[in-house]
Amino acid sequence: MRFKNILQIFGAIAILLTLIPLIAADFWWIRIFDFPHTQLTILTATAILAYFLKFDIKWLKDYVFMSAMLACFIYQLSKIYPYTPIASYEVLDSVELDTSKNISVLVSNVLQDNKEKNDLLEEVSRKNPDVLLLLEADSKWKTTVDPVLAKNYPYYKGVALNNTYGMLLYSKLPLIKPEVNYLIDDSIPSIDSKLVLKSKDTIQIFAIHPTPPMPQHNPMSTDRDAEMMKTAFKSRDSKLPVLVIGDFNDVAWSETTRLFKAVSELLDLRIGRGLFNTFSAKSEIMRWPLDHIFVSEHFRVLNVERGQDVNSDHFPSYAKLNLEVNGASEQMPNPPSEDQLKRALDIIQKEAKQKDTRKTH
């Protein structure tokens, strides 16, 4: 096989991997290609540069092939660009000095089988967040961290589960009517709660950890997508400033997360600041942002960080925010289109039909 044929195969793979996620299907083997977008952008750029070595200026097919690769690269880069430091902030920096309106949040998928639980507690001590969300926390995790966290976090709501979907919410600030809900499956919890800041302002928190599409247990993304859309509508209907936090098992640039963001009318702290890839902590190369902190337009940023290694397969996600209602008009999100609202409702209805089908079999 000639070297040019190898380069053509390399380029064709880059093109194919770009096109697969555009297929409107929720099978796991399609949706999984949403994840390594940064890696795919680098792969395509490499394929373009390599193909220049054998580019024949007299051969029309080379122009067509190179044009296809360039189109894929531009499309890929357009998805990554918002998460680069040269893009504009979507959530602006804080301009008010009222610390009573501050709230800091740490979200950590702790990895249920992680035996080094002190690593997480040390990270909590370093960050000292007002709100702490622990995901994949089973009864062993709760037994270990409760005695330590209870000293500084008098408010708690959660459920420890041994199915990798345990969810523990700790807060230094008062939680008002916190509820554990099961939006899709009676083994996949989410938490809704109002929270009162030191300024006496009340905000709304939604914490979710939807199930990912997996070939062994859940080969389609319908359940995950539906939980995200249900949360989006709850956020949209809230009369209070909103935080939505959790491990979405989806990347920031996927069509599903972008639809969630549009319908919920929430903002992404990372836009203009960086990717803050949280998964996988076990790989230097295959990493992407799965853990999210979305905010309504009422919040401004004091700090955004990816946390330190806690011996999990996820890094924690951290943000310190300030409630600045007077500046909300400066960063208002665009309202969702009728088509976006319809697509979100269709996802919810599709999940409901699938659930009814499973019950009848």
What pLDDT score was predicted for residue 358?
67
- The pTM assigned to this predicted structure is 0.91
**Of 222, 235, 221, whose CA–CA distance to 190 is shortest?**
235
Q: Which domain holds residue 186?
A: 99-344
Task: Give per-10-residue mean pLDDT for the chain (361 aa).
Answer: 70 78 62 76 86 73 86 90 94 95 98 95 98 98 96 97 97 98 95 98 98 69 93 98 96 93 98 95 91 98 97 97 97 97 96 76 60
> Which residue, 43, 58, 83, sits at the end of a domain?
83
Residue 281 counted as domain residue: yes
| Helical H segments across 176-254, by residue range | 222-237
Residue 168 counted as domain residue: yes
What pLDDT score was predicted for residue 290?
93
Q: Are residues 57 and 105 in the same domain?
A: no
Q: How many folded domains does the chain comprise?
A: 2
Residue 90 counted as domain residue: no
Q: Are residues 167 and 74 in the same domain?
A: no
In the numeric block, the tokens 């702790």 are attached to 110
Residue 266 counted as domain residue: yes
Q: Are residues 70 and 111 in the same domain?
A: no
Q: Are residues 133 and 216 in the same domain?
A: yes
The sign of the torsion formed by the CA atoms of 275, 279, 284, 288 equals: negative
| Helical H segments across the chain, by residue range | 3-19, 28-31, 37-51, 60-80, 117-127, 139-149, 222-237, 255-264, 338-360
What pLDDT score was predicted for residue 216?
60
